[in-house]
Amino acid sequence: MRYAQMRKYDIANGTGVRTSLFVSGCTHNCEGCFNKEYQDFTYGIKWTNEVENEFMQYVLDDNVRGVTILGGEPMQQVQDDDLLNLLKRVRTESGKTVWLYSGYTFEEIVEDNKRRKLIEQVDVLVDGRFVEELKDIRLQFRGSSNQRIIDVQKSLQNKEVILLKG
Ligand code: SF4
């Protein structure tokens, strides 16, 4: 895995102060993509054990409420287990919440084995591609109105999409 950006304190992508990771690579090619250079899987910096340890130090900071994974497309990080291992580590070592942004819908994610493994480690999913015509800057934590903020664990249990409350 390669990543484009890491933010120790991010207040724009999910509730509270979060440590965020923008992974490299995405094939959705949405019109109006706000991170076009991040679509390239070779962009950015290689993910290593040292980088992972640095990331975990940020996550364990008392000011940080959780982690947010964006891109790029986190659900296309299936060439290796770097992201899956990171999410498992966040959950076991910090117990903090994981938000993830994907251009795939929840339904598309759960029907694919590799993507499903990743989503099982996530608490909140902001799903769906960015649609320029549905762009609305008043929306909190999402770019266009087709995107949903989903309570992943409840949705997996109930086998249907349940939106995050509040
Ligand atoms: S899913 Fe995100 S990164 Fe990928 S093309 Fe769409 S807006 Fe860009």
Nearest ligand 1 atom to the CA of 38 is 3
Q: How far apart are CA 159 and CA 142, in angstroms?
A: 23
Rounded mean pLDDT of the chain?
97
Looking at the predicted structure, is the pLDDT value of residue 166 above 80?
Answer: no
CA atoms within 13 A on the CB side of 38: 21
Which residue is closest in CA terms to ligand 1's atom 7? 33
Segment 92-114, tens digit of pLDDT:
999 999 999 999 999 999 999 99
Question: Beta-carbon neighbour count of residue 92 at 10 Å?
Answer: 8
Q: Answer yes or no: is the C-beta of 23 below 6 A from any ligand 1 atom.
A: no
Nearest ligand 1 atom to the CA of 71 is 3
| Rg of the chain, C-alpha, whole Å | 15
The closest of 125, 15, 1, 117 to 69, measured between CA atoms, is 125
Q: Answer yes or no: is the C-beta of 75 below 6 A from any ligand 1 atom.
A: no
The domain ranges of the chain are 2-158
Strands (E), the chain: 2-10, 18-23, 45-46, 66-70, 97-101, 124-127, 148-151
Model confidence at 34, pLDDT cuts 50, 70, 90, reads confident
Architecture of domain 2-158: Alpha-Beta Barrel (3.20)
Task: Please provide the distance, in angstroms rounded to a whole number, between the alpha carbons at the two ends of the chain.
Answer: 34
Q: Answer yes or no: is the C-beta of 103 below 6 A from any ligand 1 atom.
A: yes
Does the pTM of the predicted model rise above 0.85?
A: yes
Q: Please tell me the least confidently modeled range out of 3-7, 17-21, 32-36.
A: 32-36
The interaxial angle of helices 82-94 and 49-59, nearest 10 deg, is 30
